[in-house]
Chains A and B, each alone.
Chain A
Amino acid sequence: MSINLNRFNRVNRKKIFNRIERTQKAAIPQAPKRPPLLHPQLDISALTDIFLSKFSASSSTFQSIDCLSLVPQLVLQYAEKHSANKTLVTNLHSILTLDETPLDWPETLSLSPPPATGNEAIGLSYATTAIAETGSLVLTSSEKNPTTVNFLTDHHIIILNEQDIVPNIESMWERLSLSAGNMPRAVNIITGPSRTADIEQTIQLGAHGPRSLHLLLLTQR
């Protein structure tokens, strides 16, 4: 079957808009003013505590670290505890600044560069920001932080800088400062491991994505 998609779209679009515009003014050039919305307010001084309590409530775990150089050992420990397969997919080295010491990965971990292929047991990425209100980690897709790492691995470990925790969903968007034409392909707000309750409403972790989610919280000491 072949249709002229452009023409098809033009005709349909016109029909739909005609019907919509019966009831309201034609697509007015200036933006309508959306009514102001209220945002839930949180105790700013307790952001980290609020975040961690909500985050833990989503069946996730965390450890605090004060230095990135601890990451390889902690990843190894996590892998030893949770997975027979010690393969790790990450692009973490690309976010290290020049003055930071390169990470010293133990040989027992077999590292592979992204994208994830489904064969790696552990994925390591970093969160751009995190939401205290919901206990969510927010990851934006990029060369440094490819989306497949978030979904194709069995265990997902995410690094978050404590300073990047914001109070609510709105402040998260503000922090990301997104605009059309400049969007990361994907923004993933992640709150706990993959889950399903599709069989007899019984919650099971690890439906399609990671079976576990672990946070390494980089605190400022």
Chain B
Amino acid sequence: MSPAGVGGRLARGVTLVASIVFASPALVAAQAGNAMAGKALYELRCVGCHGEKGDGKGPAAELVVPKPRDFTTGLYKIRTSANKAPTDQDLFRIITDGMPGTSMPSWAVLPDKERWNLVAYVKAFAADKFKEAPKKLELPKDVASSGESIKRGKEMFEAIECHKCHGTEGRGDGPSRAELKDEWGHPIAPANLTKRWTFRGGASRTEIATRLAAGVLGTPMPAFIDSVEKPEDIWHLTNYILSLGPDSPGYATLVTVTAVSDAIPDDPSADFWKKLTPNNIPLLGQVIVDPRNFNPSVDLVSVRAVYNDKEIAFHLTWDDPTQSTADPGKKLFADAISLQFPPQPTPGVERPYFLMGDASDAVYLLRWENGKGVTESTANGPTKIAAIQGAEATGKAVYANGQYRLVMKRPLVSKSETRPTFAPMVFMPVAFQAWDGGAGESGTRMSLTSWYYLRLEEPQSGRRFVIPPVVAILTLAVMLLVVRVANRRA
């Protein structure tokens, strides 16, 4: 091959590597956007929430929580700079990735250039706030996670009083939560540190450490770089926060009910429950029937379920920042949760309407309410609920550190037509509803799911331990036979 050919290939290789490096979003060099071009796009895509004047007062603003950003103040929550002005890259990243747990979606569908134009246009709403150039935030040297680092992080978490807002176990249930307001006077909830996938500014190590160091502007979350004992405590805190919960909820599509032969404990804190794998189910706002609930409080319930020859039990875990009972004077309602089943097996795939049934097809609700305990009822729609006489279900709940744990039990078999009977290996429709009374949820203001399936696994059988050895032995026998026949012929 000629030297020119080698050189040419090398140059192509370098270009290829360069294009791969620069194509990755984190490394995209900041581009000067065209604010005028950004205006047209802004008016098509962004005005609905952020408003024509950029003041965060678009037609959807009254519905969404947290409220849309007011660009005229030039104040941005998520930034990587040490002073107030965010970098262009910060704005670009939020437009590109969106903000989890808020109404800001990812706009990665727009070409890079258009997103840079939006950055330029959004900055133009508060041009004077960007006169001062952003200063680079210097983070201390990263400290890898270890048992010791997490322990130190926990000490710091208490020392700098993170728990006052975020709660002892990080579920956003601290004593100060009710008083918290943002710069614009809106109530603001402290982050639930056990649900990293809802972190507004991203859940990576660096993003968490950056927010700890520089704070979140416009919110009660201060910069902690000067309040920790040593700069590297920022990383110990980061490691502690990362240890508080999983990085993703791992939602289930099927609720599996485990077969057990012993008695099922009534105590929700019993070790028995910890050994079971939770089925995590996402709950969403009820927006069909008035009053609607666009910003539901309970967004996840972890279901552990077991059955023995007599009864079935559901262990439910969900986060609720306040334990509340009905108090009409204070506009507070009781926290509650319910499981919904068709009262009787339905023909084929048909089943009642997911939103608590309708006039023609009722559902059975197994409900727990704080202060009232477990009740069973028949519903023909969310406002037509009638209690079933003669309770068969029992339950017990505990509340600690922003979390409910509840056990509800019921006989496996029911003779009445208003209650379902549970049978092994049958796919049974199930749905969930939850109310955070402290957030004013009651009646149709709830979070819910559509129909899922529940399945009682087959009673502990040795099938998976019997079949494989049989298969292996049969294979061996066939092979020995082949070897034998071959040897005889030879």
Q: Do A and B come from one complex?
A: no
